[in-house]
Structure 1
Amino acid sequence: MTEASVTALRDSGSSALRTPVEYGGQWADAPAVTRRLTELGRVCPSAAWIAGTCATSKTMVALRHGTLAREEFFADPEALACGSGLPTGRGTHEADGVRVTGRWDNVSGCESAEWANVSLMVDGAYHLAVIPLADLAIERNWHMAGMRGTGSQRLVADGLLVPAHRVARSDPPQPREQLFFGLCLLAPLVGAAQGALDAVRDMFRSDRRPFMTSYPRMGDSPGARHWLADASSLVDRAGRTALTIARDSARDDLSALDLAHLRASTAGAAKDCRDAVDLMLDLHGAGGLRETNSLQRYWRDLAVGSRHPVFSGYLAAESLGTALIP
């Protein structure tokens, strides 16, 4: 992101959504996080995605690390954080700390973040390490059609000595946590679909006419109005689903079946967003794919973001099918 975008995230409080209150943050609940990230995604899906991954990283640090590491990590409550839950690093205990070597791919926001919370294996057990970005190398291998602004590059540690108090033995993210982290990625997609709908509604309010027809304006076509309504309904359903998941995720009585249903709903909402924007592009025509048209940016960002593994429809169906069998 540009420096101006990073400053805007900080000034809006979006980078402190999951900074604990005792460290000067909001520790916002799931519905509040969902609403804020949706608002951001409506303007810039990449910025919202970075704010979402910052929220997940800060949540893991708050719940998994000790007091000293938390005090260092949250010293600036607005600092951007990034991370990776895949244990593609390894660590070896030494007298002065843990010697860490690893490569973590697709770390969204790492070019703008000040801290990283990365997963690694130490003595065969899952651990999390909080490391200043200044101590890590960045390999710029994020060459994607969409979500370009996330700067989801590769982080590299090569024999880095990390103080022992910054390396915590931990369980991998649990299903309830995974549900919250999925929301932090779904909300930017809902916002992107809303932003695309804003662009298409502006087109309907303009003097644009359907090509090769006698209609003077897009809105005069019953078919175009029908498709616009269909796209809007998909976007609205995705937004309602996201907020329902956010509210339900806080329940204490969630069963394995409940979690599987919510995971499937998360995947379904992401697909609704993607389907809605495809329909909007069909309405707009090839002009919507001009580089100067915001619609193509929302389309590209949704095409990439909605294919994150957390939105995998077939895996969600597998989990739900398994949970449905007594």
Structure 2
Amino acid sequence: MNSQSRTEFVQNASKLVPLLQSHALWHEENRRLHDDVVDAMTEAGLYRMRVPTRYGGLETDAGTTFETISQLALGDGSAAWNVAVNAVSCWLAGLFPDSVQDEVFADPDSRVCSVLSPTAMATPRDGGVVIKGGWQFVSNALHSKWQVVLAMGPTPDGSSLWPLMAVVPMSDLGIVDDWHPYGLRGTGSVTTVAEDVFVPAERVLPLVLVLQGQYASQANAGAPMFRAPLMVTGSATFTGTAIGLANAARENFFDRLPNRKITYTKYESQREAPITHLQVAEAAMKIDEATFQATRLAEHIDARQADEPWSVHERARARVALGRVFDLSKQAVEVLATASGGSSLYNTVPIQRILRDVQALNMHALMHPNTNYELYGRVLCGLEPNTDYL
């Protein structure tokens, strides 16, 4: 995708912002995305971003993916998050043998969801494995045709267990409607369940090999989209939702500013109060700093040469960049929400939803700022990373 195509694609995504904003409250109340929103995002090609071009996908680079998701989050964080999850999940599906991809991407708009927690068991059976168990927080599950799951299964020598990644049709899984969260309510991040689901061997990959960059696809082996490791790719993709939410909070605050006073003070215009100047400046700088971290990470990925190895330091820095983006974005939104006063508590005022959404993002185990700060600090101190998710 050249620079002109990239600009046009991001602009097309931005045109959906009014639609997303108009359905955001419906998403909250119904705990899923509206079909009209899903259809519009499908028509715009947003679910094809990380689908190989040979199937009609776009194979967007990290920068385009980040910018597109940021635009969507201006309209609704839940919609942006689900598109980000779909992008990473399609990327994961692209690691499997080409024959498996032929199934998954037979329809290039076939949506995919995933989780990286191995909360199920895989038992060997002739020709594959049988998976039993469940997975929580499966964003995009209600609109997907496939799920990339993780389950603990025996190593080749049978001496121990290790996590296995598998691609499973959603039609083989049950859904537990348990998504009643504080934030990101529209993502429909329900629990999915496998009851003795047989998965052919070609649809199974050891997670350890995936994290080491040993993929099974031959057709994608030289594609630029697959040059970055899994966690680096995910980090760059997920930053977009946080940046977009922070910018949405800023826009909402300034939209409301001209008509607001500071109650129980003599400030008839909030715009004139020095505290407001301090608040908006602080929030703006935090958003700028978060955007710098996210943009630098995406540009670093896109500038890499083929087969250039990723050091432990670079991998850890990608994780800490993600945590830092989430942390700074949350801080910015909290400043603006505090400055928005009691009238912002109503569910018709977007900033209260934005605040809950960005706080929910910061609770995600892989994105949690404290976890990622510690990880990076360990590496800087010459210690082992203390995680395989690098």
Q: TM-score range by the shorter chain?
A: over 0.9
Q: Which residue of 1 aligns with 2:344?
A: 288
Counterparts in 2 of 1:203 and 1:90: CA distance versus 1, 3 Å: same
Shift of 1:253: 5.4
How far apart in 1 are the matches of 2:318 and 2:38?
32
1:235 to 287, 290, 305: 287
1:8 matches 2:60: no
1:115 matches 2:146: yes
Q: Which residue of 2 aligns with 1:203?
A: 256
Q: Which residue of 2 aligns with 1:84?
A: 115
Matching residue's letter, 1:30: A
1:18 to 47, 50, 66: 50
2:211 to 173, 196, 207: 173
Could you tell me whether the CA contact under 8 Å between 1:9 and 1:15 is conserved in 2?
yes
Matching residue's letter, 2:243: V
Query: TM-score, normalising length from structure 2?
Result: 0.79
RMSD: 1.8
**Runs of 4+ residues deviating >4 angstroms:** none
2:183 to 146, 156, 159: 146
Counterparts in 2 of 1:40 and 1:220: CA distance versus 1, 3 Å: same
1:210-249 equivalences under 5 Å are: 210-249=262-301
Structure 1, 306-315 or 41-50: larger mean CA deviation:
306-315
Q: Which residue of 1 aligns with 2:326?
A: 270
How far apart in 2 are the matches of 1:128 and 1:271?
30
Shift of 1:85: 1.5
Matching residue's letter, 2:49: L
How far apart in 2 are the matches of 1:9 and 1:148?
19
Task: Note the alpha carbon deviations across 1:280-314, whole angstroms, 9 max, x for none.
Answer: 11111122121111111100101111221223233
Matching residue's letter, 1:130: V
How far apart in 1 are the matches of 2:344 and 2:287?
18
Could you tell me whether the CA contact under 8 Å between 1:231 and 1:276 is conserved in 2?
yes
Q: The residue matched to 1:274 in structure 2 has which SS?
A: helix
Query: TM-score, normalising length from structure 1?
Result: 0.93
Q: The residue matched to 2:135 in structure 1 has which SS?
A: strand
How far apart in 1 are the matches of 2:131 and 2:259?
60
1:255 matches 2:307: no
Matching residue's letter, 2:244: G
1:319 to 364, 375, 385: 375
Shift of 1:322: 2.1
Could you tell me whether the CA contact under 8 Å between 1:97 and 1:161 is conserved in 2?
yes
Q: The residue matched to 1:284 in structure 2 has which SS?
A: coil
Shift of 1:97: 4.0
1:163 to 194, 197, 200: 200
Shift of 1:127: 2.2
Q: Which residue of 2 aligns with 1:186?
A: 239
Structure 1: unaligned runs, 5 residues or longer = none
Shift of 1:112: 1.2
Matching residue's letter, 1:159: D
Task: Note the alpha carbon deviations across 1:198-217, whole angstroms, 9 max, x for none.
Answer: 1001012x322222233332
Task: Note the alpha carbon deviations across 1:22-53, whole angstroms, 9 max, x for none.
Answer: 11101111111100110111111111111111
